[in-house]
């Protein structure tokens, strides 16, 4: 995720900004920049690539005079990583500079309106719409202009802002993206994360949603959206730098699991407009969608599991036949690609060698291709005919959690869009699906809150030799992902089976005390899976069930039950996976393993 640092004080700002940005490098970024007021105007320096480039360009910041400034490391969302798209962004006459974390959902609408009024945009970013809008509203009172902008923008934001004609103040404001401020003898600071300012102060103020902070060298004042002053107490940060990088969480995986509500909202909300699914970047007419005869989903690992869920959702909602392939198989199996076939490649990194090769193979065979990708500007994003980004932000833990959750959301959105275009979904049914989608972030939050219970349960299985995951339909897809999560970070052998398949061989492995996790979220299959649960229990298995909150009957059969809140049957994966992620995480922690960097694994598999 992007990083923000801001400073006002007696010292030269740029070296302090560079130092703060360096402390945020661990978050991942693809460009960096700074804006400093030099006594006459706001100077901006920015560069694609590592911070080192900016450092060299500015001679460690020394070439940028001035004691007030804002800095940014960007993880591209809107617009590829480039010098131009890097932050800060100016308003039209370069008297205001802005850095931004988050996503402005209505930026295209704002941009069009401002362009009609003669504003000339220089970048492809959503952030520039904020800078221009600030310029549009600014009539000498920064607070008033910021308040007006807050009323107009939709989405999430943490902003650092400087105004050339208020050279003794740094402004900051946030909604749904974190921002903190602090003060020391050196001056006042803003930051998106604690590590950036930890060396100056441990007493920080957390800006709450829709609050504005105004910093001078010696003061910090907080205002609400109406410009009324509000009191605020600092909080003492006791974390060391290591803990601070993880936002106070013990591991990146835990941090990333906890980011899932936001990841889901960020991927979902910008694509819901006036109660409809709008995927602007898809660029497919309804007629093209109607003409589709087949979808192939191709991916590796967890992305492949997201693809298996996708098969059920696309086929169920849009009635398009779907084949799902492992990329390493697809590329060599001489697949049959007929006319009007869409090949969807799913990849967090956008660099997985087999997925990239499969994409190239699909294009050669004449398929239309769509990438569902997390890393903007990555190889798959560049080479696919179309790309739909999952806005999960950088994922650091090798075991994917939040990117996988975002991939599911992207597929649900596409399936709804395809179903509507193909006349398979009434407006009412579509509205109900969207209502359920919008409830998912809060439901994930609720499931995450149950972590202690899952941890206690996980602690009983630290010495397990084998764990089995069973389910039918979509629940089989969830089981596959649950099983992969467990084995990759706990080194416990685990397998996922379609529940009906057990008795064709695997059931011979069940012994007294073997843990079997049964995922049971598909109401039409309750009875069938319960029979399978009985089969394994009779052979001594201990059964953990993950099921819908109305399926209390299961308590008669399973030994331990985790309930998930009510949602549409196509979306249960987004909820049922949460306890399975937590379970794997706590088994790994309990065994004292390297959760974030499991042995033999790399985050991005760029070799065949």
Residue 562 near residue 478 (C-beta atoms within 8 A): no
> H or E element: which one contains 528?
helix 526-538
Q: Is 347 in the site for ligand M6R (CB under 6 A)?
A: yes
Shortest distance, CB of residue 356 to ligand M6R, whole angstroms?
Answer: 9
Task: Give the interface segment with ligand M6R, choosing from 156-164, 297-305, 414-422, 472-480 (CB under 6 A).
Answer: 297-305
- How many C-beta atoms surround the C-beta of residue 515 within 10 A? 24
Q: Catalogue the active-site residues.
A: 2, 603
Q: Measured at CB, which residue is nearest to ligand M6R?
A: 301
Q: Is 348 in the site for ligand M6R (CB under 6 A)?
A: yes
Q: Which is nearer to ligand M6R, 73 or 302 (CB)?
A: 302
Any residues with CB less than 8 A from the CB of 245 and at least 6 apart, and which? 26, 193, 195
Task: Give the interface segment with ligand M6R, choosing from 86-94, 177-185, 346-354, 509-517 (CB under 6 A).
Answer: 346-354
Q: Is 390 in the site for ligand M6R (CB under 6 A)?
A: no
Q: Which of 85, 263, 265, 355 touches ligand M6R (CB under 6 A)?
A: 355
Query: Binders of ligand M6R among 453-512, rule CB under 6 A?
Result: 484, 488
**475 token code pair:** 């629940």
Query: What DSSP character marks residue 176?
Result: B
Q: Is 398 in the site for ligand M6R (CB under 6 A)?
A: yes
Q: Which is nearer to ligand M6R, 369 or 514 (CB)?
A: 369
**130 token code pair:** 């904020």
Give the CA count within 13 Å in the CB-facing half-sphere of 218: 0
Q: Which of 201, 267, 352, 522 touches ligand M6R (CB under 6 A)?
A: 352
Q: Which of 178, 301, 307, 371 touches ligand M6R (CB under 6 A)?
A: 301
Q: Can you give the length of the chain in residues?
A: 608
34 SS3 class: strand
Q: Is 303 in the site for ligand M6R (CB under 6 A)?
A: yes
Shortest distance, CB of residue 545 to ligand M6R, whole angstroms?
Answer: 23
Q: Is 405 in the site for ligand M6R (CB under 6 A)?
A: no
Shortest distance, CB of residue 35 to ligand M6R, whole angstroms?
Answer: 34
Residue 356 near residue 332 (C-beta atoms within 8 A): no
Q: How far is the C-alpha of 212 from the C-alpha of 181, rounded, in Å?
A: 11
**604 token code pair:** 């991005």
Q: Which is nearer to ligand M6R, 302 or 588 (CB)?
A: 302
Given CA atoms 86, 207, 375, 282 in this order, what sign does their dihedral have? negative
Q: Is 58 in the site for ligand M6R (CB under 6 A)?
A: no
Q: Which of 96, 83, 92, 156 is nearest to 126 (CA)?
A: 156
Number of residues that bind ligand M6R (CB under 6 A): 16
The angle subtended at Cα 396 by Cα 209 and Cα 344, nearest 5°, is 95
Shortest distance, CB of residue 393 to ligand M6R, whole angstroms?
Answer: 14
Q: Which is nearer to ligand M6R, 372 or 530 (CB)?
A: 372
Residue with tokens 């009609």: 116
Q: Which is nearer to ligand M6R, 412 or 585 (CB)?
A: 585
Q: Which is nearer to ligand M6R, 347 or 547 (CB)?
A: 347
Q: Which of 44, 300, 413, 562 touches ligand M6R (CB under 6 A)?
A: 300
Beta strand 466-471 with 386-389 is unpaired
Shortest distance, CB of residue 487 to ligand M6R, whole angstroms?
Answer: 10
Q: Which is nearer to ligand M6R, 181 or 467 (CB)?
A: 467
Q: Is 517 in the site for ligand M6R (CB under 6 A)?
A: no
Residue with tokens 């339909």: 473
Q: Give phi and psi for 41, each to the nearest 5.
A: -150, 170
Q: Is 604 in the site for ligand M6R (CB under 6 A)?
A: yes
Q: Is 605 in the site for ligand M6R (CB under 6 A)?
A: yes
Q: Which is nearer to ligand M6R, 193 or 488 (CB)?
A: 488
Shortest distance, CB of residue 387 to ligand M6R, whole angstroms?
Answer: 14
Q: Which is nearer to ligand M6R, 36 or 399 (CB)?
A: 399
Shortest distance, CB of residue 348 to ligand M6R, whole angstroms?
Answer: 3
Residue 413 near residue 390 (C-beta atoms within 8 A): no
Shortest distance, CB of residue 597 to ligand M6R, whole angstroms?
Answer: 11
Q: Is 349 in the site for ligand M6R (CB under 6 A)?
A: yes
What are the distances in angstroms from CA 202 to CA 189, 235, 242?
Answer: 12, 8, 14
Q: What is the 3-state secondary structure (H, E, C) of 532-557?
A: HHHHHHHCCCEEEEEEECCCHHHHHC
Shortest distance, CB of residue 205 to ligand M6R, whole angstroms?
Answer: 36
Give the CA count within 13 Å in the CB-facing half-sphere of 297: 31
Q: Is 69 in the site for ligand M6R (CB under 6 A)?
A: no
Q: Which of 183, 265, 302, 584 touches ligand M6R (CB under 6 A)?
A: 302
Q: How far is the C-alpha of 96 from the C-alpha of 65, rounded, in Å?
A: 17
Q: Which is nearer to ligand M6R, 123 or 574 (CB)?
A: 574
Q: Is 341 in the site for ligand M6R (CB under 6 A)?
A: no
Give the CA count within 13 Å in the CB-facing half-sphere of 326: 6
The angle subtended at Cα 455 by Cα 451 and Cα 457, nearest 5°, is 120
Q: Is 400 in the site for ligand M6R (CB under 6 A)?
A: yes
Q: Is 567 in the site for ligand M6R (CB under 6 A)?
A: no
The angle subtended at Cα 384 by Cα 260 and Cα 479, nearest 5°, is 40
Residue 565 near residue 575 (C-beta atoms within 8 A): yes
Q: Which is nearer to ligand M6R, 199 or 597 (CB)?
A: 597
Task: Give the interface segment with ligand M6R, choosing from 201-209, 271-279, 392-400, 501-509 (CB under 6 A).
Answer: 392-400
Query: Binders of ligand M6R among 166-205, rule CB under 6 A?
Result: none
Q: How far is the C-alpha of 382 from the C-alpha of 93, rounded, in Å?
A: 33
Shortest distance, CB of residue 521 to ligand M6R, whole angstroms?
Answer: 21
Residue with tokens 């061989």: 505
Q: Is 399 in the site for ligand M6R (CB under 6 A)?
A: yes
Q: Is 406 in the site for ligand M6R (CB under 6 A)?
A: no
Residue 90 near residue 34 (C-beta atoms within 8 A): no
Q: Give phi and psi for 364, each to the nearest 5.
A: -60, -35
Task: Give the interface segment with ligand M6R, choosing from 72-80, 224-232, 278-286, 295-303 (CB under 6 A).
Answer: 295-303
Shortest distance, CB of residue 50 to ligand M6R, whole angstroms?
Answer: 21
Residue with tokens 């994917």: 400
Q: How far is the C-alpha of 75 from the C-alpha of 569, rounded, in Å?
A: 34
Q: Which residues make up the interface to ligand M6R (CB under 6 A)?
A: 300-303, 347-349, 352, 355, 398-400, 484, 488, 604-605
């Amino acid at each position: 995720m992007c990083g923000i640092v801001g400073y006002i004080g007696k010292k030269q700002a740029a070296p302090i900004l560079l130092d703060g940005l360096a402390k945020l490098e661990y978050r991942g970024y693809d460009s960096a920049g700074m804006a400093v007021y030099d006594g006459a105007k706001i100077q901006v320096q920015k560069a694609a690539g590592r911070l080192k480039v900016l450092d060299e360009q500015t001679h460690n910041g020394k070439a940028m005079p001035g004691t007030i400034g804002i800095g940014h490391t960007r993880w591209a969302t809107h617009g590829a990583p480039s010098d131009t798209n890097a932050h800060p962004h100016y308003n039209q006459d370069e008297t205001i500079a802005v850095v931004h974390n988050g996503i402005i959902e209505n930026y295209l609408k704002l941009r069009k309106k401002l362009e009609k009024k003669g504003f000339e945009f220089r970048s492809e970013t959503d952030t520039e719409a904020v800078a221009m809008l600030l310029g549009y509203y600014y009539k000498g009172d920064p607070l008033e202009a910021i308040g007006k902008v807050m009323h107009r923008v939709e989405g999430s934001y943490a902003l650092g802002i400087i105004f050339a004609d208020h050279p003794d103040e740094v402004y900051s404001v946030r909604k749904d993206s974190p921002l903190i401020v602090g003060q020391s003898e050196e001056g006042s600071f803003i930051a998106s994360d604690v590590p950036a300012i930890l060396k100056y102060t441990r007493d920080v103020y957390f800006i709450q949603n829709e609050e504005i902070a105004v910093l001078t060298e010696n003061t910090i004042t907080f205002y609400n959206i109406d410009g009324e002053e509000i009191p605020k107490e600092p909080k003492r940060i006791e974390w060391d730098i290591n803990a601070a990088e993880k936002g106070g969480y013990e591991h990146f995986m835990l941090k990333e699991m906890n980011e899932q509500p936001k990841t889901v909202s960020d991927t979902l909300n910008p694509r819901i407009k006036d109660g409809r699914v709008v995927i602007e970047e898809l660029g497919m007419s309804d007629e093209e969608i109607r003409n589709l005869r087949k979808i192939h989903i191709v991916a590796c690992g967890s992305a492949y599991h997201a693809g298996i869920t996708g098969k059920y959702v696309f086929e169920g909602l849009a009635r398009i036949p779907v084949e799902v392939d492992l990329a390493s198989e697809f590329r060599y199996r001489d697949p049959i690609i007929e006319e009007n076939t869409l090949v969807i490649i799913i990849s967090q990194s956008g660099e997985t060698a087999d997925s990239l090769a499969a994409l190239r193979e699909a294009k050669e065979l004449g398929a239309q291709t769509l990438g569902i990708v997390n890393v903007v500007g990555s190889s798959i994003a560049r080479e696919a005919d179309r790309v739909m980004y999952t806005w999960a932000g950088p994922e650091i833990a090798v075991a994917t959690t939040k990117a996988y959750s975002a991939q599911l959301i992207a597929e649900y959105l596409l399936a709804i869009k395809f179903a509507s275009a193909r006349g398979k979904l009434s407006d009412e049914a579509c509205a109900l699906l969207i209502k359920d989608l919008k409830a998912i972030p809060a439901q994930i939050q609720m499931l995450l809150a149950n972590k202690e219970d899952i941890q206690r349960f996980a602690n009983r299985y630290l010495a397990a030799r084998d764990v089995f995951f069973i389910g039918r339909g979509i629940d089989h897809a969830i089981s596959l992902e649950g099983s992969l999560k467990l084995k990759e970070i706990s080194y416990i052998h685990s397998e996922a089976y379609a529940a009906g398949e057990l008795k064709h061989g695997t059931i011979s492995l069940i012994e007294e005390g073997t843990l079997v996790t049964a995922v049971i979220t598909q109401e039409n299959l309750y009875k069938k899976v319960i029979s399978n649960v009985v089969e394994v229990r009779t052979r001594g298995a201990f059964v953990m069930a993950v099921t819908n909150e109305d399926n209390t009957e299961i308590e008669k059969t399973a030994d331990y039950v985790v309930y998930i809140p009510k949602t549409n049957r196509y979306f249960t994966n987004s909820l049922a996976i949460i306890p399975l992620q937590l379970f794997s995480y706590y088994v790994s922690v309990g065994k004292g393993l390297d959760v974030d960097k499991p042995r033999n694994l790399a985050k991005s598999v760029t070799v065949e």
